[in-house]
Amino acid sequence: MELLCLGLNHRTAPVEVREKFAVGNTKLGEAAMDLIALAEATEGVVISTCNRTEFYLAAERAGEAFAKIELRLAEKIQVDSSVAAHFYRLEKIAAARHLCRVVSGLDSMMLGETEIFGQVKHAYGAALDAGATGAILNKLFQRAFGVGKKVRTETSIQEGSTSVGNVAVDLAEKIFGHLKHSEVMILGAGEMSRITAQSLVSRGARSIFVANRSFDRAQELATEMGGSAVRFDDWQSVLTRVDVVISSTGAPHTIVHREDVEKARRARKYRPLFFIDIAVPRDIDPAVGEIEEVYLYDIDTLEQLAEEARGRRQLQIEQCECIIDFELAKLNLPGL
Amino acid sequence: MGMDRWFLLAATLLAAVGGAWGMVSVHGGKRSHWTVVWMIGVFLCQLGFLGIRGEMRAACPLMDRGEILAFLAWSLTLFYLLVGPAYRISLLGVFTAPVVVIFQTAALIPGTLTAHPAKLPGSSAWHETHSAMSVLAYGALALAAVAGVMFLVLDRQLKEHHLKSGLFKNLPPVRELLISLERLLWLGSGLLSIGIAAGFLMPRTASAWGHLIAAVAVWGGYLVLLGVKQVRGLTGRRLSLSAVVLFVLSLLVFAFV
């Protein structure tokens, strides 16, 4: 009995190919049973996320199993044989190591991301419930989950935010703690503002105010985020109540001046105020950051912090690989 | 060396080790989960010290400078144990431990603590209330000053975008620090009010007037600070700086008055 993995991911296949092989969350168990039938294998698990579709199998002969799946999948999904070039084929220990890397977030587009762990766990659970797994895959997946946990607890692979939006949200939490008591104002209804504000809302921000030169667009975004639209000329009056301001207008000059903030300080009782300026050219006069209770971060600073976090994660890869090799060496599996 | 001093020495060593352990953890980017355990040990040893001194005095042990410093360190530890874990401010312990070490080391300097304290027959209840409440108040105010220092460190790091240190990662959020700081100031001022009221009711010698006037001045300082914060508002930096400066000033005042 041999362990094998056939898959494609964001590195080997463009989205138009990946989407053809994508399997819905509710159909993973059924897909695992189909896979066993297609490959004439004894065990199978199908993992499908937006960045990858992978088939894990325990079969008598790997070479034959690969050929059967590729041929029959191409027929079933009605794609030509050129898609075969997008697949990677891994056998025995290489397949096991790959699964551990996937579960640990080492193979993800965003290195060290944690969502994949839950996605693989769900895929395995579906296959287990459908009766598509046996001694080999059960042992392999259980060990991979153990390795994934160990990698995350013993290294810093998931530490630090690697996107501008997440860095901004982490900083907001460092200033205000839980965001459930925080109010947010967005200046300019651009895409970056929307993404950052959504991250804040997902972490509990209480209410959102949207100010935009086009009031219709402000209303549109406010409705989408469950907030309120504000006329652009009125943003100064809202400044007295909010805790976070995200600015991303397309204006060629600064929008928020030191005097604007100075005027609001008394009414705010000098509470901390966090400005996130993600516009280029900048919307917020750097002098605003000199006000005692104001914390001002522009796009360069946020990007630099995200880049540093990405760099720190890269440095952890070697340590993660050592943990994986060490744990796999202890795995006494017949298919390896 | 008497058993009381052994207890105080043990409390000082535990605080020193706990503080150092916490600092090493924080420097390495980890939370110092054990700080609270070390500080519980410190607290128990302080209780041992105060218990023995109380029996020797047959009164609240607040008669010499050493006892006052030890009582202040105990009060500081008590408020840390009440506030730190409740607000999950484990780092407060790392900042509190060095202050406890300083107070207790000063108390252990030969001559600061009376070696054979005399029993105090017929001690006034108002006098004891005044002493105990005042020192308890200074414990809360000391912890407010510690929280103020933590805020000033975090504020500087956020302002200057220095966000990589283990200390930054472990410091509690700005808003939580400011809330704790303000509550501690209210608590300390409330206890000090009781202490001062008791001070006016206790039998006084002429020399006690200077001490009482200094206490009223300190109390007034804290009330003005809280009044300004409440009515007009204050930036975190000014509130923290004021809490630290007022506490240091009050210690200096009582060292000389």
Q: Contact, B188 vs B148, CB < 8 A?
A: no
Q: Give the model's pLDDT for residue A185.
A: 95
Give dist(CA A237, CA A234) in Å, integer.
6
Catalytic annotation, residues of A: 50
Q: Give the model's pLDDT for residue A276.
A: 94
Give me the CATH code for the A2-154 domain, please. Answer: 3.30.460.30
Our measurement of the distance from residue A5's CA atom to the centroid of its chain's CA atoms, rounded to an integer in Å, reads 24
User: A284 in helix, strand or coil?
Assistant: strand
Q: Is B232 on the interface with A (CB under 8 A)?
A: yes
Tell me which chain A residues have a C-beta less than 8 angstroms from the C-beta of B168. 174
Q: Give the model's pLDDT for residue B161.
A: 92
* 3-state DSSP helix/strand/coil % of chain B, to nearest 5: 75, 0, 25
pLDDT range class, residue B6, cuts 50, 70, 90: very high
Tell me which chain A residues have a C-beta less than 8 angstroms from the C-beta of B159. 289, 295
HSE value, Cβ hemisphere, 13 Å, CA-based, for B201:
14
- In this model, does residue B257 exceed pLDDT 80? no
Residue-wise pLDDT tens digits, A154-187: 998 888 788 888 899 999 999 999 898 899 999 9
Lowest mean pLDDT among A53-57, B76-80, B93-97, B122-126: B122-126
Residue-wise pLDDT tens digits, B188-236: 999 999 989 988 888 777 767 777 888 899 899 999 999 999 999 999 9
Tell me how many degrees the CA angle B64-B70-B71 measures, rounded to the nearest 5.
85
Residue, of A17 and A129, whose pLDDT is higher: A129
pLDDT more than 90, % of chain A? 61
Give dist(CA A326, CA A97) in Å, integer.
11
CB spacing of A268 vs B232 below 8 angstroms: no
Domain A164-305 CATH class label: alpha beta
pLDDT range class, residue B121, cuts 50, 70, 90: low
CB spacing of B158 vs A295 below 8 angstroms: yes
CB spacing of B176 vs A177 below 8 angstroms: yes
Q: Contact, A333 vs A58, CB < 8 A?
A: no
Residue B50 burial (C-beta neighbours within 10 Å; 0-12, 13-18, 19+): buried
- The mean pLDDT of chain A is 91
User: Looking at this predicted complex, what is its ipTM?
Assistant: 0.81
Mean pLDDT of the region B60-71: 82
CB spacing of B158 vs A269 below 8 angstroms: no
Q: Which residues contact B166 (CB under 8 A, 6 or more apart)?
A: B25, B26, B27, B28, B29, B30
- In this model, does residue B134 exceed pLDDT 90? no
User: Hey, of A170, A174, A175, A276, which one would you mutate to test binding to chain B, going by the most B CBs within 10 A of its CB?
Assistant: A174
Give dist(CA B7, CA B19) in Å, integer.
18
HSE value, Cβ hemisphere, 13 Å, CA-based, for A100:
27
For A6, phi then psi, to 5°, come to -120, 130
In Å, how far is A305's CA from the nearest CA of chain B?
8
Residue A229 burial (C-beta neighbours within 10 Å; 0-12, 13-18, 19+): buried
Rg of the Cα atoms in chain A? 25
CB spacing of B173 vs A268 below 8 angstroms: no
Tell me which chain B residues have a C-beta less than 8 angstroms from the C-beta of A297. 161
- In this model, does residue B79 exceed pLDDT 70? yes
pLDDT range class, residue A4, cuts 50, 70, 90: very high
Binding-site residues on chain A for chain B (CB distance < 8 A): 156, 171, 173-177, 181, 266, 268-272, 289, 292-293, 295, 297, 301, 305, 308
Mean pLDDT of the region A119-136: 95
User: A244 in helix, strand or coil?
Assistant: strand
Q: Give the model's pLDDT for residue A292.
A: 96
Mean pLDDT of the region B41-68: 84
Paired with A186 in beta bridges are A210, A246
